[in-house]
């Protein structure tokens, strides 16, 4: 049983990473998709009760936001894995410009989220913690976060 918690600003590559790496194995829990916190809570609870692997695909930029997912998953015996999507505001804005329709995020929204970003730390209860960056060629690079420290931006 695995609970994966994504952390990163909008347009950092989280949802694409989910589709490429977890689509066939983990349920996607996302407020973008579910639209309300209530629906998100219902799906999260269903995954936990069914012992179903899941990915929380939200920005989760503060430790407080992440804590409720980590606590619930740990209490149910899940292994909790964090993925921190490292992206500058400039990188996210550039990727956002490639989006269309409702997927486009207003630039002040991206920058506001970036200002609130608290990098994830092992002390939050993760069993594994990774840092993800997107290379100029569009591939993902994944490294393990150093023990007992939050990844550097």
The predicted-structure confidence for 56-115, as pLDDT tens digits, reads as follows 999 999 999 999 999 999 999 999 999 999 999 999 999 999 999 988 999 999 999 999
Whole-model pTM: value is 0.93
For 28, the domain range is: 2-144
**Given the structure tokens 């998709």, which residue do they identify?**
33
- Number of structural domains found in the chain: 1
pLDDT of residue 147: 81
HSE at residue 45, side-chain half, CA atoms within 13 A, is 6
pLDDT of residue 73: 98
Q: Is residue 150 part of a domain?
A: no
Q: Is residue 110 part of a domain?
A: yes
Instruction: Categorize the per-residue pLDDT at 125 as very low, low, confident or very high, splitting at 50, 70 and 90.
Output: very high
Q: Is residue 152 part of a domain?
A: no
Q: Is residue 149 part of a domain?
A: no
In tens, the pLDDT along 86-99 reads 999 999 999 999 99
Helix/strand/coil for 12: coil
CATH code for the domain of 15: 3.40.50.300
């Amino acid at each position: 049983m695995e609970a994966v918690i994504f952390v990163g600003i909008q347009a950092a590559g989280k949802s694409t990473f989910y589709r490429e790496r977890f689509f066939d194995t983990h349920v996607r829990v996302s407020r973008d998709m579910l639209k309300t916190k209530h629906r998100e809570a219902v799906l999260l609870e269903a995954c936990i009760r069914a012992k179903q692997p899941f990915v929380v695909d939200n920005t989760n930029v503060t430790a407080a936001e992440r804590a409720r997912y980590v606590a619930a998953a740990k209490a149910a015996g899940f292994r909790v894995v964090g993925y921190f999507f490292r992206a500058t505001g400039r990188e996210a804005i550039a990727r956002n410009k490639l989006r269309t329709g409702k997927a486009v995020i207003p630039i002040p929204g991206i920058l506001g989220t970036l200002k609130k970003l608290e990098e994830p730390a092992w002390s939050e209860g993760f069993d594994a913690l990774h840092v993800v960056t997107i290379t100029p060629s569009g591939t993902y690079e994944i490294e393990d976060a150093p023990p007992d420290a939050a990844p550097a931006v």
